[in-house]
Each structure stands twice: as C-alpha cells, then as structure tokens.
Structure 1
Amino acid sequence: MSSLTKETLLKRLFSDPKNYPYGFSRSGDFSIAESKALNEYGCLFAALVDRQFAPSDEEDRQFLAAALGEVEPQSTAERAWLKYQKRINRPKTGSIYGTRKTTDSNSRDEDAMMDVEDGLDIELDD
C-alpha cells in the first residue's frame, strides 16, 4: 500500500454513499460551496481526524484544531466538515409506531388470544 501524501488525498473525491447516496450537493444539507469543499478536502480531513495522516503544514494543524473543537472553524471547508460530522452523528429518531412489525392478520388474532389467556376477561353485554 502506498503511503498517504497530501497531494494524493487532495486528488481523491470524497463521498459518503451510506449517508448521502445522491451526493452532498443534492442532499439539501449543504450549500454549493460547502459541498464542493467536502468533495475536495473530505479525504484529507478524514485522514487527519482518523490519524492516518500527520499534519504537514499550518493549514492542516488549523483544521485539526477546529475538528477537535479547540478553535473556531475559519474556512468554508472547516465549517462544512463540522456540519457534516454533526449531521452523520446525530441521534436516530424513533418511530411513533414502535419497532415491532406485524406480518399478517393472523398474528394480530394470536396476540388477542394471548391477552385473553393472560387473565384479561372481556364481558360483552347482550
């Protein structure tokens, strides 16, 4: 495997098909400038944050400090990366309907029978 350099990381286009299958620019989460910055600098930023690449100049050290929350982000690329991280790491929302899936109407009938067997007596008036 070749060693990572800043030039090779900047030549790669960054994408996240899991969270943004249609790209950053089509998601509605990012402006045009932010999506371009993520595509251009995303591989470098990911390598810096994951410690796969050591910062080689002051620009890299500034980004790393912003990504770790030590300083405020200055560039569009730094703000876009923090926004991207906030979006992909947000808590997942639950459903108001729960997580249990009903396969067919027979399972609902079986659930009703279990309620009756559990001591729930239903009396019907004539």
Structure 2
Amino acid sequence: MAAAGPLAGTVEVRPAEDESRTAARFTVGEDETVLPGHYPGFPIFPGVCLVECAHLGALATAPGDVKDAELAAVESTRFTGPVFPGDRVEIAMGWKRTPAGEWQCRAKLTTDRGDAATVRLRYRARTTRTETAA
C-alpha cells in the first residue's frame, strides 16, 4: 500500500553531481488537490507540500546506506518565495552524516522566479519492533 501524501504529482530524480549532492524536481500541476482551498482565487502551493517535495526527493536520491532510512526530524524550514500552479520546482540536496550517525539532507527549492524554500531534514536507520510474549 502506498503512503498517503499531499502531492498528486510525482517527484522526478535529476542527474546528481555525486552521492552527496543530489537533485530532483516537481512540477505543480493545475490538478494538485491542495490548490483549491489554499487561497481560493489566487492559489499558492502550500509550504508543507514543498517540505514533502524535499522529503520525497531525499528518499529517492539518498546515498546508499540511507536507502532504508526513515525521517527522524524536520529540523528547519524557510519559505522565501511563492510557488504557483504550473511552476517547476527544482530541488538541490546536500547530504552529510551527523555526529550521532544519522543523515542530514539540506534541500534548496527554486522556481524560475528564484528561491522558494530551504528545508533541513534528518534521517535515521529504520528500527524494527519485535513483540515480546506476554
């Protein structure tokens, strides 16, 4: 079963410089289900959807040992410009390992008009829970 999310479209992986500098993009379609209620008559793509774009881009382009990681935290977000229906959002991501052994992804999201957001996400290895007999 696919996870539920706010995006109707797909985040596309872009060619990467190397494993620590990755890229993706998302085109905001007119059919995005979040648009009609977010400023009716003047739709703006919500910031939470930009965070989701960064997260999905990170999951799709993560370095090898991050592939089975889970989101541990949204460390910071900064929204710097509006994103409208029809915009193509370019997502440039940089990866680094934290002192705690987790991974941090710093994403910069831009459109043709300039900066849209910066997002910092942290990922950790998935943990599996085992049930104990009662």
Shorter-chain TM-score tier = under 0.3
**Which has a greater percent of helix?**
1
TM-score by length of 1: 0.25
Larger radius of gyration: 1
**Which has a greater percent of strand?**
2
TM-score by length of 2: 0.24
Instruction: Answer 1 or 2: higher relative contact order, Cα 8 Å, separation at least 6.
Output: 2
